[in-house]
Chains A and B, each alone.
Chain A
Amino acid sequence: MQVETATETPRTSAPPQRRERPARRGVLARLLTLREGSVIVITVLVAAYFAATTDAFLSWDNFKTLLPYFAPFAILAAGEVMLMINGEIDLSIGAVYLFAPFMFHEFHVAGLPLLVALALALGMCLLVGLVNGFFTTVVRINSFITTLGMLLALTGFTLIISDAQPVQTPGTDVLGGQTAFTRIFGGGTYSELIWALAIVALLQVVLSFTRWGIYTVAVGSNRIGAAEAGIKVRLVIIRNFVVCALCAGLVGVLEAVRTTSVQPDPSGANEVLFGGIAAAVIGGTLLAGGSGTVVGALIGALLLGLLNDGLVITGVNADYLNFYLGLAIILAMAANTYVGRARKGQTGG
């Protein structure tokens, strides 16, 4: 009688050794392994400097003063980061920021309820994102040019529909009385902060834990490879253009509700654009694409807000403010790059 024995085919090789990460490291060293690590360190240093040199800085009242310098830029930068990781840029966020509250006003004047008017205004922003995405990915105009055109066109369009006149934000009261609507959409003290934290958290989850996020990094890091792997590159980019425009439109409405009126002022819109992009870049997102973090953009916006607020408290002459702010941004960015290099263990460029 024959007995059959089942033999398992031996594995071709022993499983390779796994190198474990060093278990314990200093808090600072571990912080610096984070992509956001360097900007966190710089932000803490800046906060410590202002706290040490002024009395008013470390107070709850000042924190509230700081919020409008910080929360709107965090939202703008969060959207911009998604697009910058794609290797694209949206210069029209300032124009969308300007355009959205005027659309909100137009729809409301046309007799629509507040929430419907708001939804339609954001719908128009979504459309702007689609148009930006279409011209960038299908017509293949560089996004810098596409969105520069959009910046001018949309700013001009806003001036046309508003007759260059300011309007009162729908649903708001000049005397500052709050309704449920205004409290949620920018009028409440912490409204913008809550929106900022929620949007940053949502987009960071999208970026780190969903296919959308993986594809966003893939398209920015290796566009041809991503396409070869079957990723729909155009769709990914267009989607992020839409996210970016929606963030900008929402901030426009939040700020309009907070200040109860909107000026069709193109120069203000441009400052919003610069602030948003600066926050994204300071937060550690590469202009070249492939790498970035939404949480970093939040901290970048916080750093900008702290600088702005701290310099005002320190009593810097208003004429000098932008000058110092500009220098501070370059210094912070240089320190950021230096710390980032130290983080990766490189000594030189």
Chain B
Amino acid sequence: MTKSFGPVVALRDVNLTLRKGEVLGLLGDNGAGKSTLMKIICGFEKPDGGSMTLRGEPYEPRSVDHARALGIDAVYQDLALIDELSVFHNMFLRRELVHRPLPLLANRAMRAQTRAALDEIGIDIPNINAPVARLSGGQRQAIAVARTVHSEADILLLDEPLAAMGAKEGARILDLIARLKETGEVSIIMVLHNYVHVLASCDRVNLIQDGVIAFDKPTAETSIEELTELVVSEYRRARMAA
């Protein structure tokens, strides 16, 4: 798959496979194209070339809604939260419950489900009526993750889901991912920077370099040292070139 933004080539020839029930860790330098790849898979960006297959069928998402209807949902790096809206409206953004046949929002039901979903993950957000602007970075990220997990998608794309979190909140999210994995129903691609997290929660790890997948191994067959060495050698090459 390829993707360019004007003269900037983000993805040159990416070949990525996600198996059912697998948690795939995606690594790469800043600007390597991880987020672009995620946005293509979830239907937000269109690829310039290449093809995707979903459950054996050709997969060409027309929109985020379309991808979601096919069971693919994403947590974006920027979280896609609406500061002015309440926690529970954010949780249900684009999936709002309404009092059919009236087009009025079923706020009470959304509040109850939001509370249940957050309690299940174990994230403490005292007031779900408050706008998300008032929350901490970790809480905001937890809501974005909870929203996607709660969407009943079976392919989850998580772009740095732990970036703004403290150790405790991060551990809760990793617990949640482990629980999802146990069900065997959910497949996950996670962009991560912390190799400990990668080895602890992923089945396999891929590394994007220069717009291609340069490394692909099961986490059982690699180590923090090997992953570190890969990145350090890339850094050395970059310095030589500069």
A34, chain B: closest CB distance, angstroms: 15
- List, in ascending order, chain B residues with CB within 8 A of A226's CB: 80, 82
- List, in ascending order, chain B residues with CB within 8 A of A225's CB: 76, 78-82
In the complex, the chain A residue whose C-beta lies closest to that of B65 is A230
A208, chain B: closest CB distance, angstroms: 9
In the complex, the chain B residue whose C-beta lies closest to that of A291 is B84
Cβ of A290 under 8 Å from chain B: yes
A16 touches B64 (CB 8 A): no
Query: With A214-B89, A222-B83 known to touch, is A17 a contact of B94 (CB < 8 Å)?
Result: no
Cβ of B125 under 8 Å from chain A: yes
Stretch at the interface among A7-15, A172-180, A303-311: A7-15
Chain B interface (Cβ within 8 Å of chain A)? 39, 44, 63-65, 68, 74, 76, 78-85, 89, 93-94, 96, 98, 103-105, 107, 118-127, 172, 175
Give Cα A205 to B99, complex, Å: 14
In the complex, the chain A residue whose C-beta lies closest to that of B127 is A19
Give Cα A205 to B105, complex, Å: 10
- List, in ascending order, chain B residues with CB within 8 A of A227's CB: 44, 64
Interface string of A291-313 (1 = CB under 8 A from B): 10000000000000000000000
Interface string of A35-62 (1 = CB under 8 A from B): 0000000000000000000000000000
Give Cα A242 to B127, complex, Å: 36
Give Cα A227 to B76, complex, Å: 11
Cβ of A4 under 8 Å from chain B: no
A83, chain B: closest CB distance, angstroms: 16
A174, chain B: closest CB distance, angstroms: 44
Interface string of A220-259 (1 = CB under 8 A from B): 1110111111110000000000000000000000000000
Cβ of A210 under 8 Å from chain B: yes
Query: With A228-B44, A231-B94 known to touch, is A209 a contact of B82 (CB < 8 Å)?
Result: no
Chain A interface (Cβ within 8 Å of chain B)? 11-13, 15-19, 205, 209-212, 214, 217-218, 220-222, 224-231, 290-291
- List, in ascending order, chain A residues with CB within 8 A of B105's CB: 209-211, 214
B84 touches A16 (CB 8 A): no
Give Cα A226 to B79, complex, Å: 10
Give Cα A39 to B103, complex, Å: 30
Give Cα A302 to B19, complex, Å: 63
Query: With A13-B122, A15-B119, A209-B104 known to touch, is A229 a contact of B80 (CB < 8 Å)?
Result: yes
A207, chain B: closest CB distance, angstroms: 11
B96 touches A222 (CB 8 A): no
In the complex, the chain B residue whose C-beta lies closest to that of A230 is B64
Give Cα A214 to B88, complex, Å: 12
In the complex, the chain A residue whose C-beta lies closest to that of B69 is A230
Give Cα A16 to B123, complex, Å: 8
Which of B63, B74, B82, B118 gathers the greatest number of chain A CB atoms within 10 Å?
A: B82
Give Cα A125 to B63, complex, Å: 31
Give Cα A240 to B6, complex, Å: 33
A340, chain B: closest CB distance, angstroms: 15
- List, in ascending order, chain A residues with CB within 8 A of B125's CB: 16
List 10 additional A-B contacts (Cβ < 8 Å) besides A12-B121, A224-B78, A229-B64: A13-B122, A18-B126, A210-B98, A211-B105, A218-B84, A222-B82, A225-B80, A225-B82, A228-B76, A230-B63
Which of A16, A205, A209, A214 gathers the greatest number of chain B CB atoms within 10 Å?
A: A214
- List, in ascending order, chain A residues with CB within 8 A of B175's CB: 12
- List, in ascending order, chain A residues with CB within 8 A of B123's CB: 16
In the complex, the chain B residue whose C-beta lies closest to that of A286 is B84
Query: With A229-B64, A230-B64 known to touch, is A218 a contact of B82 (CB < 8 Å)?
Result: yes
Give Cα A205 to B121, complex, Å: 33
- List, in ascending order, chain A residues with CB within 8 A of B85's CB: 214, 217-218, 221
A211 touches B98 (CB 8 A): yes
Q: Which of B63, B68, B83 contacts A221 (CB 8 A)?
A: B83
Query: With A214-B96, A217-B84, A221-B82 known to touch, is A230 a contact of B68 (CB < 8 Å)?
Result: yes
| Cβ-closest 4 pairs across A and B | A230-B64, A13-B122, A16-B124, A225-B80
- List, in ascending order, chain B residues with CB within 8 A of A18's CB: 126-127
In the complex, the chain B residue whose C-beta lies closest to that of A17 is B126
Give Cα A17 to B85, complex, Å: 22
B119 touches A211 (CB 8 A): no
Which of A11, A217, A221, A228 gathers the greatest number of chain B CB atoms within 10 Å?
A: A228
23 contacts between A and B (CB under 8 A): A11-B119, A13-B119, A16-B125, A17-B126, A19-B126, A205-B104, A210-B98, A212-B103, A214-B89, A217-B85, A218-B82, A218-B84, A218-B85, A218-B93, A220-B84, A221-B82, A226-B80, A228-B44, A228-B76, A228-B78, A228-B80, A229-B93, A291-B84
Give Cα A117 to B192, complex, Å: 62
Query: With A15-B119, A19-B126 known to touch, is A231 a contact of B103 (CB < 8 Å)?
Result: no
B122 touches A217 (CB 8 A): no
In the complex, the chain A residue whose C-beta lies closest to that of B44 is A228
Query: With A221-B82, A221-B84, A228-B78 known to touch, is A12 a contact of B172 (CB < 8 Å)?
Result: yes
Q: Which of A17, A212, A214 contacts B93 (CB 8 A)?
A: A214
- List, in ascending order, chain A residues with CB within 8 A of B84's CB: 217-218, 220-221, 290-291
In the complex, the chain B residue whose C-beta lies closest to that of A225 is B80
B133, chain A: closest CB distance, angstroms: 9
- List, in ascending order, chain B residues with CB within 8 A of A12's CB: 120-122, 172, 175
In the complex, the chain B residue whose C-beta lies closest to that of A219 is B82
- List, in ascending order, chain A residues with CB within 8 A of B104's CB: 205, 209-210
